Amino acid sequence: MSGFGGVLPWARRTLVERDKILTSEEFSAILGVCQIVPGPNIMNLAVCIGSRFGGARGALAATLGLSLGPIAIVLCLAFLYEHYSYLESVKGLLRGISAVGVGLIASTGFKMMRDEFRYPAMFLVVVLTMIAATVFHLGLGYVVLLVAPIAIFLARKKAQSL
Amino acid sequence: MSILLSLFLKLSAFSLVAFGGVNALLPVLFNLAVHQEHWIDVQTFSDYFAIAQAAPGPNFMTVTLIGWHVYGVLGALLATLAIAWPSSIMIYFLQRFIMRMKNPLSKQTIQYAAAALAIGLVLSSAFEIALQINHSLAAYILTIGTIAITVLTRWHPLYLIAMGGALGVLGFI
């Protein structure tokens, strides 16, 4: 519920630093697995951590706990939007927030990029993915099919060299 | 009823290809919701995106709001379920398999490869969505400023969202 700007940093702080349910390495490993699989990363994380402590029921409890509160809040906001979206100030407000929001998404990408400096050849994968997606507008399936072999090849080299 | 079914099926399929999370695939969601299915228009999409960013909680709430627009509260719940169930079931079974992978080298390889792919997708996503929702030079400056501040400092994103909202209300964006 207090996960403004994404839940991930908050999840890490609570689970690793405060409650010490997981060690930092375990958290990173689980997160790594969750990012391989498609779908909302944070939901995947909830499934992984929930199922670790309570099997399928734990997974269900974790995902529901994570999403029900925020859904209620966002629906209240949607209700307000319905009534006040004609106001010039509300339009401006949303324009400002969405401009920041898209910047926040881009900066997630840039922050994740820091790890690639340890093995700069991986930047090739990043650049190829971007070219395939934005210049040639290939569908996601084709992007993955095209880039995955190179990504796996380079990732293997990276894993061996570090 | 058929629109609910199509909402559920299309979003479930979307979830299955959403490598790198929902934000990495916002352009795909945009195409699906605006151009293919005509669930919402461009302006509503970018407004919902803003609301989802400003609200607390997971950042796939844009999907919840699209569901709400299509079929009220039921649509919102169904859309959220649709986006979450395929990958949740997949990860539930896959995590044991991957966590138990004996060879640390192949595990690292998969993680590095997936991370690089995800970075490419997230950056492309931000680029394409910026083209759709930013309509003025000031908006692009705000986006680029946000990237600079978050990469260089440790400011909480909420301050930036509040700042962007304030600039918008004052009519700058």
Task: Enter the ipTM.
Answer: 0.91
The b/e string for B116-150 (b: 16+ C-beta within 10 A; e otherwise) is: bbbbbbbbbbbbbbbebbbeeebbbebbebbbebb
Query: Are A85 and B170 in contact (CB < 8 Å)?
Result: no
**pLDDT tens digits, A71-93:** 999 999 999 999 999 999 999 99
Q: Which of residues 67-126 of B touch A (CB under 8 A)?
A: 68-69, 73, 76-77, 80, 83-84, 86-88, 90-92, 94-95, 98-99, 105, 108-126
**pLDDT tens digits, A25-79:** 777 777 777 777 777 878 888 888 888 888 889 888 888 888 888 899 999 999 9
- Number of H helices and E strands in chain B, helices first, is 7, 0
Among chain A residues, CA nearest to B21: A40
- Residue A24, both tokens: 């930092």
* A18 min Cα distance to partner chain B (Å): 19
Tell me if chain A has a CB within 8 Å of the CB of B140.
Answer: yes
Residue B146 has its nearest CB partner, among A42, A104, A144, at: A104
Main-chain phi, psi angles of B171, to 5 degrees: 90, 15
Q: Which of A108-122, A141-155, B11-25, B95-109 has the lowest mean pLDDT?
A: B95-109
Q: What is the pLDDT of residue A1?
A: 45
Tell me if chain B has a CB within 8 Å of the CB of A148.
Answer: yes
Query: Are B151 and A51 in contact (CB < 8 Å)?
Result: no
Residue B91 has its nearest CB partner, among A34, A102, A127, at: A34
Q: What is the pLDDT of residue B7?
A: 95
Query: Are B120 and A130 in contact (CB < 8 Å)?
Result: yes
**What percent of chain A has a predicted confidence (pLDDT) above 70?**
93
**Mean pLDDT rounded to a whole number for chain B:** 90
Between CA A156 and CA A143 the distance in angstroms is 20
* A78 min Cα distance to partner chain B (Å): 7
Which pTM does this prediction carry?
Answer: 0.89
pLDDT band at B66 (very low <50, low <70, confident <90, very high): very high
Query: Are A39 and B47 in contact (CB < 8 Å)?
Result: no
Query: Are A151 and B113 in contact (CB < 8 Å)?
Result: yes
Residue B88 has its nearest CB partner, among A1, A63, A78, at: A63
**Mean pLDDT rounded to a whole number for chain A:** 85
* Phi-psi sector, A139: left (phi>0), alpha (psi -120 to 50), beta: beta
Query: Are B116 and A152 in contact (CB < 8 Å)?
Result: no
Quickly list DSSP for A59-117: HHHHHHHHHHHHHHHHHHHHHHHHHHTTSHHHHHHHHHHHHHHHHHHHHHHHHHHGGGG
Among chain A residues, CA nearest to B162: A97
Q: What is the pLDDT of residue A103?
A: 93
Residues of chain B positioned with their CB less than 8 A from the CB of A44? 87-88, 91
